[in-house]
Amino acid sequence: MTSWTTKLEHFALTGNSQGVQEALAQGAAVNGSSKGLRTPLHHAALHGNLAIVHLLCDHNANIKVRSLIDRVYGHTYILTTLQRAGCDLNSQNRDGSTPLHLAAENNRIEAVEWLVQQGVSAQVKNHNQLTAHDCAIKRQYTDIADFLKLHTAPNMPAGVSQREQRRPTPTSATPAGGHNDQQNLPRRHAQQPTSPPQPQAPELTQDSGKRGQDNDSPHHQVSNQPQSAKTQGIERGKSVDRSRTKSVGSSGETTEKTDHGLLWLLAATDDLQGDGDGSGCFTSVDPAEEEIIEAVSNGNYATVERLLVAGVNPDTRSHMAGEKDLTLLHLASWSGHEKVVSLLLMYHADHKATTHGLSAVHWAAVGGHVGVLDIMWKKGFSIKSKTEDGLTALHLAADHGNLAAVKWLLKVGSLKSQEKLGEGSFGEVFLVRGRDSMMVVKRIDLSQMSRKHQEYAHREFQLLKSLNHPYIVAYRGGGFKGKYLHIHMEYCGGGDLSSRLKEQKTKGEAFEERQVHCWLLKLCLALKYIHGRKILHRDLKPQNIFLADTGSVKLGDFGLARVLEDSSRALTCLGSPAYMSPEVIRGEAYDAKADMWSFGCVLYEMATLQSGFPFTKVTIAGEFSQSYKTLVKSLLQQDPTKRPTASHILRTAPFLLNVMEAQLVEREQQVDELTQEVVNLTQEAEELTRQMETMSANPSYPNEKKPK
């Protein structure tokens, strides 16, 4: 095959209609096939690409070519298009099976009904002497077996299937209580309930091939009665010759049609395209809309993006059986395609639109997709909104047995609101307000990270879980959810030290030395704690030091932290350059003393309100004590062996002794106050005891008013 012919087959297989057009324009062989004998038309039909089927048929694709395919993936609605092109619905494959056999074997009730409605004989036997009814019995598909058995009953009205007789029409009233739609919610997963009210299979007339004509809207007009039992000259219920059949041409003359090998490949599907209730009209649908509906259902992000860029309406509604009237956002939410959901929302798809009374949030709950629910919650959509029947997403998730969604909704339901605090290359940070508390949620998209950065995210998660210290930001929970890592942390209402430094600089006011001493003490205690566990922070800077509402400080953001083995040293050059130690910059091995250099940079900045980088000369002007200045200079020694450790500072810094003494006095005062409270409570208890003893000694005391 030529290169363009090969490309044509590939484009048809992948659903690239523009590529198909280009390949055909370049002279590609429309009937070229690979070793598997699949032609481009086979690929397009089997994968449900209606637009490409039309393109290939318009270029005289051979609809008679058989394909030796073991499995069938097609979409039955394309049967209508191929039937108009002259395909024989009674054609047989190599084992003698008709499309009706294959539909019955693959449990495709919609296809079975449609084929019977078009006059396909249920009496034809394959080479194993089995009818379609026999195939359904063999596979234990009782619904199809019962339908095929009932279809041959003498009292069956022509052109009307048993299932159509019991199926409610789209315009049928909802029963009192409004639960009809909820009972008929479709699902794509294991325990699939009954589908919503579906359109009946369309009858084809001689004029039905005129797509888009004589219709008042993209949806054809609905009639309440099925048309004649005859379509294209085939009378229902009569046996049809396996190899030849006669049909009525557009001019009325009878012509012979040869057995074609494509239709039988399409029977094993459950999606029958068409609208209405069997009025005989075929829906005129934009091929681009058909393509995007299929792409959304399959989670094909690239195709959805291409079509949205091309201008396809993001609020397009499906015409597929089992999905009728669902918007693209409903389909993606119900199917759990998170990236497609995000894409549609980016193109402003209407998240409030409803189908069967359910919005996109409700469809995500029906499907049980926590990832989709989380996306919508992060966007600010209400997860407590109700359907027309008063059901919330939690009701729907519970009704459909989606335990993970129920747990997530219960957890999020206890949270009142959220606010985005920041956004980075790999994730977002939210402030979540609960009934009684607040916490910070870091949401990290692992799929956007390199392997190295994924390791950093995992490391931070594991470290936070293992740390427990009053001056380190506390871990509140989290875990891995699909491609996301969620880390729930303590909320520090005072912001970070970097913001506080900017405020002081704007005011032109330095921090009080006593305040700096308090912060220094607590940061030293935090550093002593992690260094004692052989953990290096490696990114100590004002942005990673947080202020609590009480004025205390806490060390946070352990994304670049490293756990050292015994007597080992790190080599990776990581951190922020302005706070990075000389040995790290030089690419030399380093240990906890690198964190102490960064700590010195922070202390310098707290005293001067400016960065001293690159610290060629350390000079601290102002009213800070000489002992503080000496400590900062010792931390900013070029030689790491000369820098003090956190433990050494806590033991030797004279001003810290004053801070600790002041805090001890404060604690003693608190103890005295608590002691006095205990004394007062003891006295009250003794008084109550005396009263109870008096009441016990005189039983009439409570009921008797004693004279004054």
Is the peptide bond between 157 and the residue preceding it cis, with omega within 30 degrees of 0?
Answer: no
Helices marked H in 483-592: 497-507, 513-532, 582-585
Can you tell me the distance from the alpha carbon of 32 to that of 38, in angstroms, rounded to the nearest whole number? 8
CA distances in angstroms from 555 to 433, 529, 590, 693, listed in the order given: 22, 11, 21, 56
- Exposed, middle or buried: residue 91 (CB in 10 Å: 0-12, 13-18, 19+)? buried
Beta bridge partners of 418: 432
Q: Dihedral through CA 184, CA 313, CA 207, CA 20, nearest 10? A: -110
CA distances in angstroms from 506 to 368, 502, 509, 611, 623, listed in the order given: 51, 6, 8, 15, 19
Can you tell me the distance from the alpha carbon of 8 to that of 108, in angstroms, rounded to the nearest whole number? 30
Can you tell me the distance from the alpha carbon of 220 to that of 222, in angstroms, rounded to the nearest whole number? 6
> For the chain, what percentages of helix, strand and coil (3-state, to nearest 5) are there?
45, 10, 45
Phi, psi for 489 (deg, rounded to 5):
-130, 160
CA distances in angstroms from 216 to 220, 284, 641, listed in the order given: 7, 11, 86
Cβ-based neighbours of 232, under 8 Å, separated by 6 or more: 83, 118, 204, 206, 247, 248
**Sequential DSSP letters for 413-431:** HTEEEEEEEEE-SSEEEEE
Can you tell me the distance from the alpha carbon of 415 to that of 139, in angstroms, rounded to the nearest whole number? 50
Picking from 579, 560, 578, the residue whose alpha carbon sits closest to that of residue 570 is 560
> What is the Cα 120 distance to its own chain's centre?
43
Phi, psi for 579 (deg, rounded to 5):
-120, 15
Q: How far apart are the first and last CA of the chain?
A: 120
Cβ-based neighbours of 528, under 8 Å, separated by 6 or more: 645, 646, 647, 650
442 is an annotated ligand-binding site residue: yes
Specify the length of the chain in residues: 708
Picking from 508, 446, 432, 442, the residue whose alpha carbon sits closest to that of residue 475 is 442
Can you tell me the distance from the alpha carbon of 27 to that of 11, in angstroms, rounded to the nearest whole number? 14
Beta strands in 226-359 (DSSP E): 244-248, 254-258
- Exposed, middle or buried: residue 149 (CB in 10 Å: 0-12, 13-18, 19+)? middle
Can you tell me the distance from the alpha carbon of 279 to that of 228, in angstroms, rounded to the nearest whole number? 10
Beta-carbon-side half-sphere exposure of residue 560 (alpha carbons within 13 Å):
15
Helices marked H in 540-653: 582-585, 593-608, 626-635, 646-652
Can you tell me the distance from the alpha carbon of 459 to that of 465, in angstroms, rounded to the nearest whole number? 10
CA distances in angstroms from 630 to 466, 510, 580, listed in the order given: 34, 19, 20
With contact defined as beta carbons under 8 Å apart, do 58 and 68 qualify? no
Binding residues for ATP: 442
Binding residues: 442
